[in-house]
Chains A and B, each alone.
Chain A
Amino acid sequence: MYKVYHRIERIAGSVITVKAEGVAYQELAQVTSGQGISLARVNRIDGDMVDLQVFAGSRGISTESQVRFFGKPMDTPFGDSLLGRVFTGAGVPRDNGPLIEENSVPIGGPSVNPSKRIVPTRMVRTGIPMIDVFNTLVVSQKLPIFSVAGEPYNQLLARIALQAEVDVIVLGGMGLKFDDYLYLKDFLEKNGALSRSVMFVHTASDPIVECMLVPDVALAVAEQFATKGKNVLVLLTDMTNFADALKEIAITMEQIPSNRGYPGDLYSQLASRYEKAVDFEGSGSITILAVTTMPGDDVTHPVPDNTGYITEGQFYLRKGRIEPFGSLSRLKQQVNGKTRSDHRTIANTMIQLYASFRETLEKQSMGFRMSGWDQKVLKYGERFEKEMMDLSVNIPLERALDLCWIILADCFNPEETGIPSKLINEYWPKKG
């Protein structure tokens, strides 16, 4: 019943062109060649010429290879049997488990009606003061870790995933190093979280089109769990590899690049994935924590730049610490007004003083005399870095806030902090 074509007109990159009739935009097809079988997807139609992205790439495809159209767009199986399993971006098991074919759901579906969204109000506790105190993570937030290659971002991702109290973890790996894939899998397994996880993994050596599919498949599955009342955490690492896959395919398709070779719709492409984060009224939620590595540690690079405009903040990971500057949780004010009355003020004050510390360090490095104030600030900054910023610190929010007051009182007089007098009276540690 499926139409089969035997003549391929053009082959370039991972895109092939066939002459075919009645084929729909985004339709799924199967390409059979000497190299085996691969899925493919229609991404341009010009009269009867149909361009397809071949998931496994075009290597080994001949002009005589066979293309069979399925008459429907791409979908993914869904069900509880996915839990504990690992798949490729194309949905093929990577773990020697059985193929799952139940209950197909479409991928890349429509977006949530904004009027059905609710204002998020639930804090995700991570035990990391740089997050809990200064940039609180919130259920349904979409937030990337901006990092240079080589930083322990996957470790941080895994740690937050474990600490967060969620029903389901969906991991989307893009261009993962094989070691990192094994690390994440072992970490979840060791900590008993694998049975509530699903993994869609594309490793650095897998075909590029599959990389592009990972977020869509992962998010489609997450959406299904969430509409069934589950709180889902989606981990996407590394979104820069996803963007690079988009770039590669756009160039193959001869699209005009806008910025450093990336296609003009990079923003929309990233946004349509990140915007899947949601808190459904009367149902579950999707929280997205991603990794965006910054080529050359450059935050103005198109991938982190576009990402920053889309996501609800970002954590900068640098030298093994979450940097206070540039890190942001845009949703923090939804929750930090209700945690403790000093939370917001402490967060602002500590950061402002830390900014003074950085300035003072600069002055010190230029050999200027350190005034009495400078000495105070230096003492403060060192303690802040050691007792707050160090990633090994793992304490609940309330203890972290108490610790902030202790550090402030050890370094400053109350009025030097600029904290409103009311809070000083309530929280400033009494001497003796």
Chain B
Amino acid sequence: MATNGKIIGVNGNLIRVAFTDAVVQNEVAYAKLASGVKLKSEVIRIRGDYAELQVFEDTTGLKTGDDVEFTGELLSVELGPGLLTQIFDGLQNPLPRLATECGFFLQRGKYLHALPRRKKWTFTPVAKVGDKLTAGETLGTVPEGIFKHRIMVPFKIQGSVTVESILAEGDYVIDDVIATLKDSEGKIIEAKMSQFWPIKIPIKQYAERLRPDEPMVTQQRIIDTFFPVARGGTYCIPGPFGAGKTVLQQLTSRYADVDIVIFAACGERAGEVVETLREFPDLLDPRTGKSLMERTLIICNTSSMPVAAREASVYTGVTLAEYYRQMGLNVLLLADSTSRWAQALREMSGRLEEIPGEEAFPAYLESVIASFYERGGVVRLKDGTKGSVTIGGTVSPAGGNFEEPVTQATLKVVGAFHGLSRERSDQRRFPAIHPLDSWSKYEGIIDVAKVSAARHILVEGGEVNQMMKVVGEEGTSMEDFVVYLKSEYLDAVYLQQDAYNDIDSACSAERQKYLFGKVFQILKTPMTFKEKDVARSFFLKLTQITKDWNRIEFQSQEFKNLEVQIFKSVAEAEIHV
């Protein structure tokens, strides 16, 4: 049902196309340059006898009268073994293979298969002839790196099908037909190892959605202890530039306790992705003993790449995440930055001359953001196993002001808010998550009552600090002053964490529980000092050795020695009643 059309207008990456037959909203089309190069586009609005298309490429050279071919297919990604470890652009073009073909620079109109066609996969059938199955149920498996990749009944099949034939164990390529299925009307469907799925439609071939109730340990103390994220939960990291959004996501992609990490670099710096893709292959994942790259997939549509594909990139990312969730895996999708995607929507909305909302963002911004985060979640699959997609998105608010449309729309739908503060990043208090403004609705790894007591100390310490600015140190009681110093201590040795220290950069759940217990004990120890300067230098010293302690291997001899030293000095400051 391929329709043809002709360009009647070009405005940036928006083209207007006159057509005669039928056109489907959101279908893919190709605009043809005089040179014969075809530019991938998507229908975004239809008005009478013309359609408006966003072109995923630079439109230089397009003219009125140029041909447009409609495909009748929605913008889709290919799902199958061989996705992991890859680096795709927002439209699922494999960037390293593009580089082999085109060299240093990207070349418009060049589209490659996402998955290698000739690679053989060892298929082990699970279903048998005669089995009655529904979409998403397992036909067989192939090993993909460290995972058992499920080959499933194609997601778009409706109702149940009967397995007519299935290949025996053996090596096959993804285009081989591995099973034939018969639907209720007797129609035969061929199933391959790969299938296509439209990125804007959630994959929902599971039994039910569950409440996210298991923590996803990130090994960042301030997150796991104070503002935890649950597997299958959603969270956002808004912050002004340079406050540490990207570094925090990089740390999370490295240390988070999940099976698979999908990193969607959306409209940010290319250099930051390069760090990941150059370093991960050589980093070992302590959970598996294999390279970290084996559990990673990168979608890379950085700021100088075509804007329309930026919008597609977050959907591509979440679709791939949902696909692996269907295999009973825990997947983490990190998107940096969702604001760039929102801006892509805004640019397009402006060209469409829609009525602008606040800061010229389109009026539907909120619902678009909400339905994106809705794609996260824990599910029970049809075979009873569980899988999850956790979504963490950074937000880059204009002027660092959280009272802007993207931050506000995001805060309405996520389960945790890690707000980064300019003040803390200026003071090099990293991760710069604001300990009082941030929140999480999820359960963490440490007793809630103790966490809230610790938070209380931070609040009180902050108040004393404010007061001291008015009445000075001399007008502050020793008792208050100690509260202030204790809150600073908690901040320095627990909330702050050195991303560039081999040991401190990741703090296991076990170590957090241990450390929190000890720090909590110190906070609860009544202390008094003769003079404020004595108190200050006591805490400076205590902070220093506790920081040293954080940089030593957990439960090593040196670790134990330092612990003794810490508590000896605490005993000296303790009031003996």
- Chain A residues packing against B (C-beta within 8 Å): 21-27, 44-48, 73, 109-120, 140, 227, 255-259, 263-265, 267-268, 271-272, 275-276, 280, 300, 302, 305-306, 308-310, 312-314, 325-326, 328, 330-331, 333, 337, 344, 348, 351-352, 355, 362-363, 366, 368-369, 371-373, 413, 415-416, 418-421
Contacts and interface: CB of A to CB of B under 8 A. Distances in A.
Contacts of A268: 267, 303, 307, 343, 347
Q: From A257, A326, A368, name the one whose CB has the most chain B CB atoms within 10 angstroms.
A: A368
B427 A369 contact: no
Nearest to B360: A258
A106 to B, nearest CB: 9
B551 interface: yes
Given A119-B275, A373-B536, A45 B303 contact: no
A257 B102 CA distance: 37
Contact of A371 (B95, B273, B533): B533
Contact of A309 (B8, B87, B105, B396): B396
Contact of B64 (A26, A48, A258, A420): A48
B170 interface: no
B532 A118 contact: no
Interface string B319-360: 000000000000000000000100100110010010010011
Contacts of A272: 303-304
Contacts of B411: none
Given A111-B105, A272-B304, 5 more contacts: A113-B106, A275-B270, A310-B303, A344-B500, A366-B472
B469 A362 contact: yes
A283 to B, nearest CB: 8
B169 interface: no
Contacts of B274: 114, 117-119
A295 to B, nearest CB: 13
A213 to B, nearest CB: 15
A47 B8 contact: yes
Contacts of B541: 415
Contact of A24 (B61, B346, B492, B500): B61
Chain B interface secondary structure, helix, strand, loop or mixed? mixed
Contacts of A306: 398
Interface of B: 8-12, 16, 34, 58-65, 87, 95-96, 98-99, 102-108, 240-242, 267-271, 273-275, 277-279, 300, 302-305, 307, 340, 343, 346-347, 350, 353, 356, 359-361, 396, 398-401, 426-428, 469, 472-474, 492, 500, 532-533, 536-537, 540-541, 543-544, 547-548, 551
B106 A110 contact: yes
A275 B472 contact: no
21 contacts: A25-B60, A25-B63, A46-B8, A111-B305, A112-B106, A114-B87, A115-B87, A115-B98, A116-B103, A227-B104, A264-B360, A265-B12, A265-B343, A268-B267, A268-B307, A275-B303, A300-B398, A310-B303, A326-B426, A351-B428, A420-B548
| Interchain residue pairs A-B with the least CB separation, the first 9 | A300-B399, A368-B472, A271-B303, A275-B304, A308-B241, A258-B360, A26-B60, A111-B304, A115-B95
A119 B278 contact: yes
Given A120-B271, A259-B398, A305 B359 contact: no
Given A24-B63, A328-B242, A110 B350 contact: no
Contacts of B426: 325-326, 355
Nearest to B305: A111
Nearest to B430: A348
B340 A267 contact: yes
Contacts of A325: 426
Contacts of B98: 113, 115
A246 B102 CA distance: 32
B347 A264 contact: yes
A419 B277 CA distance: 33
A235 B459 CA distance: 47
A417 to B, nearest CB: 8
Contact of B273 (A114, A140, A313): A114
Contacts of A258: 346, 350, 359-361
A243 to B, nearest CB: 14
A227 B103 CA distance: 11
Contacts of A112: 104-106, 270
A113 B105 CA distance: 5
B300 A114 contact: yes
Given A300-B399, A352-B427, A369 B87 contact: no
Contact of A302 (B62, B300, B398, B532): B398
Given A264-B360, A344-B500, A418-B543, A275 B106 contact: no
B428 A310 contact: no
Nearest to B344: A268
Nearest to A349: B428
Given A275-B304, A416-B537, A421 B473 contact: no
B107 A110 contact: yes
B292 to A, nearest CB: 16
Contacts of B273: 114
Nearest to A273: B304
Contacts of A373: 533, 536-537
Contacts of B343: 264-265, 267-268
Q: From B107, B268, B474, B544, name the one whose CB has the most chain A CB atoms within 10 angstroms.
A: B544
A110 B108 contact: yes
A420 B551 contact: yes
A415 B545 CA distance: 9
A48 B304 CA distance: 30
A420 B547 contact: yes
Contacts of A421: 544, 548
Nearest to A418: B544
Contacts of B65: 21-22
A363 B467 CA distance: 12
B400 to A, nearest CB: 7
Contacts of B60: 24-26, 73
A250 to B, nearest CB: 10
A82 B143 CA distance: 57
A22 B275 contact: no
B50 to A, nearest CB: 11
B354 to A, nearest CB: 9
A302 to B, nearest CB: 7
Q: From A47, A119, A271, A351, name the one whose CB has the most chain B CB atoms within 10 angstroms.
A: A271
Nearest to A336: B500
Q: From A48, A110, A118, name the one whose CB has the most chain B CB atoms within 10 angstroms.
A: A110
A153 B399 CA distance: 23
A306 B399 CA distance: 8
Given A111-B304, A371-B532, A415 B99 contact: no
A221 to B, nearest CB: 16
A110 B105 contact: yes
A47 B9 contact: yes
A280 B104 contact: yes
Contacts of B472: 363, 366, 368-369
A280 B270 CA distance: 13
Given A25-B59, A26-B61, A415-B541, A116 B469 contact: no
A325 B426 CA distance: 6
A411 to B, nearest CB: 14
B52 to A, nearest CB: 12
A312 B426 CA distance: 16
A46 B278 contact: no
A357 B539 CA distance: 18
Contacts of B350: 255-256, 258, 263-264
B270 A114 contact: yes
Contacts of B267: 267-268, 271
A330 B242 contact: yes
A305 B398 CA distance: 7
Contact of A300 (B63, B242, B305, B401): B401
Contacts of B398: 259, 300, 302, 305-306
A152 to B, nearest CB: 24
Contact of B269 (A22, A119, A265, A312): A312
A328 B243 CA distance: 10
